[in-house]
Amino acid sequence: MKYIDEFNDPELARRLLDEIRATATRPWALMEVCGGQTHSIIRHGIDQLLPEQVELIHGPGCPVCVTPLEVIDKALEIASRPGVIFCSFGDMLRVPGTGRDLFRVKGEGGDVRVVYSPLDALELARRHPDREVVFFAIGFETTAPANAMAVHQARHLGLTNFSLLVSHVRVPPAVEAIMTAPACRVQGFLAAGHVCSVMGMAEYPELAERFRVPMVVTGFEPLDILEGIRLAVRQLERGEHRVENAYPRAVREEGNPAAVRMIEEVFEVTDRNWRGIGPIPLSGWRLTDAFRSYDAEHRFDVSGIRTEEPAECRSGEVLQGLIKPTECEAFGTTCTPRNPLGATMVSSEGACAAYYLYRRMNAATPQAERAAREEMNPVA
């Protein structure tokens, strides 16, 4: 377990917590952008170990959660059509659309398959030339290179039966939207380390300067997160607002230039609607004109689908950091992983799912945690 156990050392965690307590003299509110960080924070009780002056606000860092309802409905429509093999990562199957989800489409006879890479879907297209194979391409900057590579390879191989349903989103415009919202309380950010490992850190100094907030690139293990918090609180106490890299073992200033080049060849920046939040200008990617023939939305003519979010779901407020999941009246009652109102309850990176797994009174044992995981992943 080298390079993992080192970042779970309880003695080092205590030292970092002591430093945070000694540094924080005023109330500070920090937002972790990544849903993977949210799960680590709640699982390890980091938010409960921090001094009362330091509050963690959960941000819109779950790509499954922010995939718009209308895109989910487009996926359901495409997956229901005969002759289509619809491929997706497993955590998309239980995300509710209007009245059903991909899991139900599969139960009704749709050929919905869980894959672990877009290249798996590409291989299915190669093996089934008589079928249309569609991959559900969602995610932040981290999944974009592999999705771009899949389309690039499809063109190289001359495959005409492969396409992507694209719903990619970008982190920096989301940070700007958060900071310009009237109810914003965020004073500093724990930036997503995996995003920066791809894109680098070039887009963040301007945001840190404009909004006068520290931005600390942070990893996902307990010590990573505590170090990110320590550095952010230290900046706030000193009146500083700059970008720091607390994840140097994975993140370089320039990111991954080869991955960025692949993204820029296949995708172009576009406006994107975020589920529960609304439209954010220049916050997504779509296929360029050179690769537009691989766009499933146009290939299957589903661009006209429009939807409305259910009024009883408050996941938008959760994604914006306005409320904690347990402040939603439906949490754990009318909204559970078996019957979710929103994606934040079923995604493996959703804040509601994290609270359901680790923060309920009856989830205090490994057996209860395992049962909750099985409830969230019935096809696993």
pLDDT in tens, 222-236: 999 999 999 999 999
Sorted by sequence, the CB contacts under 8 Å of residue 224 that are 6+ apart come out as 7, 193, 218, 246, 247
pLDDT, average across residues 60-76? 92
Structure tokens at 132: 């249309």
**Mean pLDDT value across the chain:** 92
pLDDT, average across residues 38-66? 94
Q: Kindly report the number of other CB atoms within 10 A of residue 160's CB atom.
A: 13
pLDDT in tens, 3-31: 677 788 889 999 999 999 999 999 999 99
The enclosing H or E element of 56 equals strand 54-58
- Rounded Cα distance between 352 and 342, Å, is 9
Instruction: Provide the pLDDT for residue 377.
Output: 59
Of the ranges 273-277, 338-342, 364-368, which one carries the lowest mean pLDDT score? 364-368
Sheet holding 188-192, edge to edge: 54-58, 28-32, 188-192, 215-218, 243-245
3-class secondary structure, 272:
strand
Phi first, then psi: give them for residue 135, nearest 5 degrees.
Answer: -110, 135
Share of the chain above pLDDT 70, in %: 93
Residue 364: band (very low, low, confident or very high) from pLDDT cuts 50, 70, 90: very low
pLDDT, average across residues 109-135? 97
Instruction: Please choose, from the candidates 96, 89, 105, the residue with its C-alpha nearest in 3D space to the C-alpha of residue 165.
Output: 89
Instruction: Provide the pLDDT for residue 1.
Output: 42
pLDDT in tens, 137-188: 999 999 999 999 999 999 999 999 999 999 999 999 999 999 999 999 999 9
pLDDT in tens, 287-322: 999 999 999 999 999 987 777 777 788 988 999 899
Residue 380: band (very low, low, confident or very high) from pLDDT cuts 50, 70, 90: very low
Share of the chain above pLDDT 90, in %: 79
Instruction: Provide the pLDDT for residue 6.
Output: 77
3-class secondary structure, 257:
helix
Residue 367: band (very low, low, confident or very high) from pLDDT cuts 50, 70, 90: low
